[in-house]
Structure formats: structure tokens, C-alpha cells
Amino acid sequence: MQRLDEELAKLVEREREGKRRLRFMKRDLRALVEAVKAAEEFKPSQHAKRVVFAKYDIIGSPRDQLLTAIFYDVMKRVGVLDKIIRDVTGVPTPLILDPWLRAALRVAVDLLVFHKLSRSSKRLLRWIVADFISSKTHPYVGMYYWQVFEKIESYKPKARSEVELLEYKYLLPAWFIEKMQKLLGREEAEELFKAYNRRPLLSIRVNTLKASVEEVVRELEREGKKPIVSKRVPTVVKFEGPYNFDKSRLFKEGKIIIQEEASALASILLDPKPGETVVDLCAAPGGKTTHMAELMKNKGTIYAFDIDAARLKRMKMLLKRMGITIVKIYQEDAREAPKILGKNFADKVMVDAPCTSTGTIAKNPELRWRIQPDKLGEIVDLQKSILEAGVKLLKPGGRLLYCTCSVFVEEGEEVVKWILNKYPRMKLVELKGPYEPSRWLPGTMRAWPHKHDTIGFFYALLEKKA
């Protein structure tokens, strides 16, 4: 135990070394606490941060880059921060605390344990934050935060096991570390963990109905960015953030959409043609739907199913902004689509199934702590039922793409093996690139964060025999 604590102390000290002493203003700390609280209520966390930072006039200001970095630092440490909060407060879980108090403690622990603060900033962190959360909830809550502050300030992290030491090192839950080590081996798993903790470039897809890649690149260069055009998906452009999409002419005019390279490849693999009938079974908020419409030259019909009203509202706004007119939206359970549209109906079917999203951890840093391993079986059952609906919708000779942004074999290869066994008329169409062939099911493909500099993604292209 002493050895583990010593190693952890060195790990934390190495992280603090070389960091400049941070200085904060009152507004900074209020915005950070409110953004961290909002991230529990709105998903994804990037959206919560943008809403709160816009409220405090931080977006695009000189403080934006620093506060964005601290926000994401808190998000990716949430599980570790909560361990420390349990130690200093004695509560069994921070989830029973007042939401404002929980957010304030997470910010305070992150800044005091893993960063260096100026003396004046420490004073603000104690007094201003206590006053701020008192005004938002109850004076006793602020008083409690003020009292526990000194315990946080003097706290020394402890590691109770080897895997808990790795939790601090890679900021990932113990069960996930052990699962990926078993799947990939210790060395490759470590490379994946490192990739999860690198801040990814922003990734956008060009709407070819309204703009060319060259036009978008020139505009981004005029804005001071250094855009890189993807070699795997030539309509995807990457550049370093932050970027204020709300004030971007390209974004407001529907010339670009936020989408990762690996996600954008899915529509290209399915390859919908102008005039075809396409069904997108898990469509909102519309990234793949709009891409398929572009590939179809806005000719044909896409039937888009989703049950999430808020995401469908965003999707409708996106379709309007991007000038897409061939999409018919159904706020219905995707599993009901064959009853609504009929069997043997579609030329192409997209099944981007709900999943654990473990491939997107670098992009959505707090996700690593939200995944519940005991819920994996329920998710897989849902994936199978949606995929089965897609098979029923498909015409003989038609093609279906099954994909997930998960690194778990249970959600990818195992689901596809199940459908092939249940429906002998379905066959795999071999995928030969641009990513890596799956080691667990030949003919399918995987993108990996540590190998391809994008989110983790699984793809299987299926065809119904005529």
C-alpha cells in the first residue's frame, strides 16, 4: 500500500510539474461550476459548456481556451474526483449531495489537487464559490463547502490497489481497464488509454450540396485555423479548437456539420444512390442522415426514425440549414419501422445502433465514468432487435450497414454473428479499408483512436441475398 501511495504521489507531482500557476477571476469560477453542473443535465458535455460559457460571454474571449481546458480536465477526472470527495466528506457517494455542491467540489478538487493556483485564486475558489452555490441553492450548502475546503487543500491521493493506480494514471474506471487489457493485451490497451487522454482535433464534414472542400479550407485559413483534409474521408476537415460554431458563417449557412471522420465513413460504406429508398433507424441528430442525402444528390427518399424529441428537433433545424428536402421523419421506435413502412421496403438501411459509445471517450471525456457494465446486456438486446428490424425492411439485393461507436466486441462482432446465424439470407460484404480488419469477425472493420486518430468505430456491411 505504501509503495502504491508513493507511486501515486509521484504521478500527481509529475502532472503538476511544469504547469503555470493559474489565476482566476470571479466570473471564471462561477462559469466553471455552472458548466460542470450543466454537464450532468445536458448531453453531450460540449453542448452544456457552450451554453454556459455563452451566458458568461466567455466564448471567443481570451479566457475561453484556459477555461475550456479546465472544464474538460474536470470532466475526464470525474470518477477520480468523486473518490477524493468521498474521502474528504465521508459520504458513500457524491451523487447524494446537492448538485451545486457536487459540481463545486469537483471543480475545487481538480484545481487544488491536480493544478497550481495563485494565493488570490485559492481565496476566490473558497469564498466566491461558497457564496455562489449558496445563492443557487441554500446558505447551508455554501457553508458546508467552505468548511470542507481545507480538507481538500491538504488532501494526498491514495491508491488501494494496482488497478486503482492505473485509474489515476489513465483516468478510466478499473473495470474498463481490465476489460480492454484482456481484449487487446496490456501494451496495446495502454496505447488506447493514452489516446483517450489526448485532446482530439475538431472534425467537421463539408456539405457538398452547398460548398466545396476547397472553399471551406480557405475560409478556415482566413479565420486563423490550420485545417487538415482527411485522407480517408475527403469531405472531412480537422483543425485545432476551440471554435465558435455559433458565430461561424460556414456553420450558420449549412456548409459544414460537426462530424467525426469515422462516423462520416459509415454513409460512404453504405453508398446510397440518387433516387433510392433509404431507411435510417437511429437517425437523430442527423449526421448520417444528412450525409446520405448529400450522397443521393437530394434525390430519392430517406425515412428517418428516432424516439428522442429533443434530438429530432435539432435534426429538423439541421436539415433546414443544410438545404435537405428528401427526409421524412418518424418519431417512433425503430423496432416498429417494418410495421409502419412494410417489409422488403428499402434499397438501403442504416443501423447506427445505440451503444455504450466507448469509442468516443476522448471526445466526450465524462462518458468514461457514466458507462455501466451491468447494463451492457440490455444494450446488446436493443441492438439486436433494431438490427432485426433493419433486416426485415431490406429488399432482396439491398444492403444494410450496422455500425456502433463502441470498442466492445459484444456490441459489434457478436451482434453481427447473431444476425447472420438467425437470418441465413443475410451475408457479409467484405470491407477492405480504410481502417483495420476486425480480429474477431473477418469481413468487418474497426477504427481505433490509438491507430487512426479518430473515434472508435465498428462497421459491418450486410446484403440480403436475392
* Sequence letter at residue 118: S
Give me the helix-helix angle, 99-114 and 139-153, nearest 10°: 20
Helices then strands, counting H and E runs in the chain, come out as 20, 13
First to last CA, the chain: 64
Q: How far is CA 8 from CA 122, 162, 164, 174, in A?
A: 24, 10, 10, 15
Q: Are strands 346-352 and 394-404 parallel, antiparallel or unpaired?
A: parallel
Q: Where in the sequence numbering do the catalytic residues fall?
A: 405
Listed residue (112, 138, 140) closest to 126, CA to CA: 112
Alpha-carbon gap, residue 266 to 399, rounded angstroms: 13
Listed residue (107, 98, 106) closest to 140, CA to CA: 98
| CB-facing half-sphere around the CA of 3: CA atoms within 13 A | 2
Overall size of the chain counted in residues: 466
Helices (H), 206-351: 213-222, 249-252, 261-270, 287-295, 309-322, 337-341
Evaluate the omega torsion of the peptide bond into residue 139 and state whether it is cis, within 30 degrees of 0.
Answer: no
Give me the helix-helix angle, 162-170 and 174-184, nearest 10°: 90
Q: Describe the strand order of the beta sheet including 202-206 as a list of residue ranges.
A: 228-229, 236-239, 202-206, 256-258
Query: Does residue 372 come out as left (phi exceeding 0), alpha (psi in the -120 to 50 range) or beta?
Result: beta
Listed residue (178, 163, 173, 146) closest to 82, CA to CA: 173
Triad 242, 247, 249: Cα angle to 5°: 110
Q: For 125-144, b where at least 16 C-beta lie within 10 A, e where not — what string?
A: bbebbbbbbbebeeeebbeb
List, in order, residues 6 or more apart from 257 with CB less than 8 Å away: 204, 205, 207, 287, 290, 318, 322
